[in-house]
Amino acid sequence: MGFDLVGPDLVFAGMSAFLMAAGVISVKEGAAGFSNTGVLTVLVLFVVAEGVSQTGALDVLFRLVLGGRGKNGRPANTQFAQMRLMVPVMVSSAFLNNTPIVALLIPIVTAWSRRNGVPAKQLLIPLSFSTVFGGTCTLIG
């Protein structure tokens, strides 16, 4: 970590896993560092999100969701693209944790915005806000 070769998240996760595998600390002690089971849930959701991202399944789904009415399936304008993005994100974040949803959708939205000539900065903030809004709609989110 001192030489900045890998990020601190990888160093700490790797060392924790090593110490648990070596039997220096128990799994219960290693997991106790996560003061809340919600933190572990978010960690697992990140792993699932990366797996889904690697398969490319959501690329096809979001290409349909973000498609639009304009020429060649492009959105007619930025506001239309924002609304097409925000509605399904709000619904999904009402039932899933917000952080993995945003982490999963950032590369998809960025690639989609590049392909369609919509500025990514005009989609990423609405992405974040819509996940927060959807998360406040239910106790699950």
Q: Are residues 80 and 133 in the same domain?
A: yes
Q: Are residues 9 and 22 in the same domain?
A: yes
Alpha-carbon distance of 108 to 99, in angstroms, equals 15
Q: Are residues 56 and 113 in the same domain?
A: yes
Q: Per the structure, how many domains does the chain have?
A: 2
Rounded to an integer, the average pLDDT of 60-85 is 73
Q: Are residues 44 and 68 in the same domain?
A: yes
Kindly report, residue by residue over 6-27, the tens digit of the pLDDT. Answer: 777 788 888 888 999 999 988 8
Q: Which domain holds residue 54?
A: 36-137
Q: Are residues 93 and 124 in the same domain?
A: yes
Q: Are residues 20 and 70 in the same domain?
A: no
Kindly report, residue by residue over 32-52, the tens digit of the pLDDT. Answer: 766 666 777 777 777 777 777
In the Cβ-directed half-sphere of 123, how many Cα atoms lie within 13 Å? 28
